[in-house]
């Protein structure tokens, strides 16, 4: 089930729990603005950071998403921020998608990737049509010889 990111980042309800996060966004002609492959993470709160002697900067949130080691323990030094870097002042930016299970997270990530692929396919189609029209205009410039 998809979880509400605002519920997670605005309180302590999910601190100490493990959730799955993912996010993929890319604009045409640019590198991906965010590529978080489906990852199981630990929702870490201020107490977790204080106990580890860390003071991470997590903007627009009281919690952070800590990657897990092979034993399933949180790596508090490897945080994934809940929001991307498009935020400013009162706008937090675009957040990751959060799920309570791996399969739904994978499905959401694949859907995001396929959306980007579709954008590229549409762009290619438009570019090919434009080039075909331009090429036809150039072909129409030819002059037939008189015999």
Residue 81 pLDDT class (50, 70, 90 cuts): confident
Q: Three-class SS of residue 129? A: helix
Task: Tell me what percent of the residues of the chain surpass a pLDDT of 90.
Answer: 48
Distance CA 76, CA 52 (A): 8
Query: ∠64-55-50 over CA atoms, to 5°?
Result: 85
CA–chain centroid gap for 37, Å, is 8
Provide the pLDDT for residue 32.
Answer: 84
Distance CA 115, CA 118 (A): 5
Residue 1 pLDDT class (50, 70, 90 cuts): very high
Please check the confidence at residue 56 and state whether its pLDDT lies above 80: no
Residue 89 pLDDT class (50, 70, 90 cuts): low
Provide the pLDDT for residue 3.
Answer: 92
Provide the pLDDT for residue 50.
Answer: 76
What pLDDT digit, counting tens, does each position of 26-51 carry?
888 888 888 999 999 999 888 887 77
Q: Three-class SS of residue 128? A: helix
Please check the confidence at residue 85 and state whether its pLDDT lies above 90: no
Please check the confidence at residue 108 and state whether its pLDDT lies above 70: yes
pTM: 0.80
């Amino acid at each position: 089930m998809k979880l509400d990111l605002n519920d997670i980042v605005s309180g302590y309800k999910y601190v100490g729990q493990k959730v799955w996060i993912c996010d993929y966004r890319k604009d045409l002609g640019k590198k991906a603005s965010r590529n978080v492959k489906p990852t199981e993470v630990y929702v870490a709160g201020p107490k977790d950071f204080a106990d580890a002697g860390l003071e991470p900067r997590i903007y627009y949130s009281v919690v952070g998403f800590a990657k897990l080691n092979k034993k399933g323990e949180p790596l508090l030094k490897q945080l994934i921020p809940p929001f991307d870097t498009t935020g400013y002042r009162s706008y937090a930016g675009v957040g990751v998608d959060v799920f309570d299970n791996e399969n739904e997270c994978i499905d959401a990530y694949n859907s995001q990737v396929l959306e980007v692929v579709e954008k590229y396919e549409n762009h290619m189609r438009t570019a090919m049509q434009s080039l075909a029209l331009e090429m036809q205009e150039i072909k129409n410039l030819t002059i037939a010889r008189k015999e």
